[in-house]
Amino acid sequence: MTLGRIRADYDWGLWTLVLVLSAFGLFVLGSAAPSPAFVFRQGLWLLAGVAAALTLQLLPKAALYRAAFWLYLLSLLLLAGVLVAGREVNGARAWFELGPLRFQPSEFAKLALIPMLARVLERRSLDRLSGYAVPLLVALPPIALTLVEPDLGGAAVMAALAAGMFFARGLPWRHLLFAGLAALLLVPTAVWPHLRPHQKERILTVLNPTRDPLGSGFQVLQSMIAIGSGGVLGKGYGQGTQTQLGFVPFRHTDFIFSVVAEEMGLVGALGLLLAYAALFWRFLALALDLPFLADRLAVAGVFAWIGFQVLINVGVTLGVAPVTGITLPFVSYGGTSLVTLWLAVGLVQLLYRDRLQRVL
């Protein structure tokens, strides 16, 4: 492959955007992380993620789709295995621990679900309700296994990812209306009664954060104070009072956007959101340039995955979404998340590079 062809076959703007976001994440972690060791480890994971995304480019698109079923099956086995042999962290048995390394199989399951569901949806029309049977049989098992851990945030991301792919496949408006009515009926009757007390409390806190300011509403209220106190230009790098003094918990993971807004102000927060907007624009532009349906659906899955995480993470820090443990893509601390996100971008690049290759 010549250098000229490489330049023509990859979207270098996309590579640049995810690299900038990841580098910005390291920069923010320098202020937000409990110790420099977190920054060092995240830097190593970033190198691993870049290497993994570039290694993925060695595969042709056909090989990826041929391996889709086996990757999907492996993800289910890992999700089942973590329920038996995983380590419990923050009330969820969601991690394998191998010495100093931790691996979260639900992150891999998000990635494995995309090519598998893309191929299944490509072959089925959703004009009739019967067309949903097989795609739902593919999408629901990893979501259900993740819920059992329990990891509500991870399951919600997978559900959003699948929903984005269903929507991109083309849903009749009558089916969307039916799904909306079903949700209105099922949430209060089948979902709410089975939520754990702390999960119900998180949802009620969104409706009224001041109902328990020293308990369930504490972290959200402190996050809102941090964001508001940042003003236009922020308090300066490493100078945030709410975040640096420990009032905002999980400031290097779930609430890292609060650090950005407090220390870099409205300018820094909007700059970060604009970078995400540019990333989503690239995903959309690339998807529209793909001639085959399965490839477009796969890119839609990556778009929905990253977009949902950004929406919920920022929403949590602003007090308009329940706390679910969803991290800010490429910015929050987390090795498994960072590597799989880079692999997801690598998947998009691979599909774009081989966009003219038909896979039977």
pLDDT digits (tens, 9 = 90+) for 322-354: 888 899 999 999 889 999 999 999 999 999 999
- pLDDT score for 192: 63
Q: What is the mean pLDDT of residues 137-144?
A: 94
Say which residues have a Cβ less than 8 Å from residue 213's Cβ, sequence separation at least 6.
Answer: 221
The CA distance from 227 to 29, in Å, is 17
Has residue 2 got a pLDDT over 50? no
Q: What is the mean pLDDT of residues 239-267?
A: 89
- pLDDT score for 113: 96
Q: What is the mean pLDDT of residues 296-302?
A: 96
pLDDT band per the 50, 70, 90 thresholds, residue 320: confident
- pLDDT score for 53: 96
- pLDDT score for 4: 38
Say which residues have a Cβ less than 8 Å from residue 104's Cβ, sequence separation at least 6.
Answer: 94, 95, 96, 154, 334, 336, 337
- pLDDT score for 358: 85
The CA distance from 15 to 312, in Å, is 24
- pLDDT score for 356: 87
Percent of the chain exceeding pLDDT 70 equals 89
H or E stretch covering 30: helix 12-32
- pLDDT score for 312: 94
Nearest Cα neighbor of 250 from 153, 149, 356 is 153
Q: What is the mean pLDDT of residues 60-74?
A: 94
- pLDDT score for 222: 87
pTM: 0.90
Q: What is the mean pLDDT of residues 144-152?
A: 87
* DSSP 8-class letter at 149: T
The CA distance from 258 to 226, in Å, is 6
Q: Which of 143-157, 165-179, 253-267 has the lowest mean pLDDT?
A: 165-179
- pLDDT score for 184: 74
pLDDT band per the 50, 70, 90 thresholds, residue 72: very high
Has residue 205 got a pLDDT over 90? no
pLDDT band per the 50, 70, 90 thresholds, residue 55: very high
Who wins on pLDDT, 149 or 175? 149
What residue ranges do the domains of the chain occupy? Answer: 67-193
Sole residue written with tokens 């905002």: 248
Has residue 5 got a pLDDT over 60? no
Average pLDDT across the chain, whole number? 87
Who wins on pLDDT, 164 or 240? 164
- pLDDT score for 6: 41
- pLDDT score for 78: 94
For residues 251 and 32, is the Cβ–Cβ distance under 8 A? Answer: yes
- pLDDT score for 195: 67
User: 122-143: string of b/e by CB count within 10 Å (b at 16+)?
Assistant: beeebeeeebbeebeebbebbb
Q: What is the mean pLDDT of residues 224-240?
A: 90
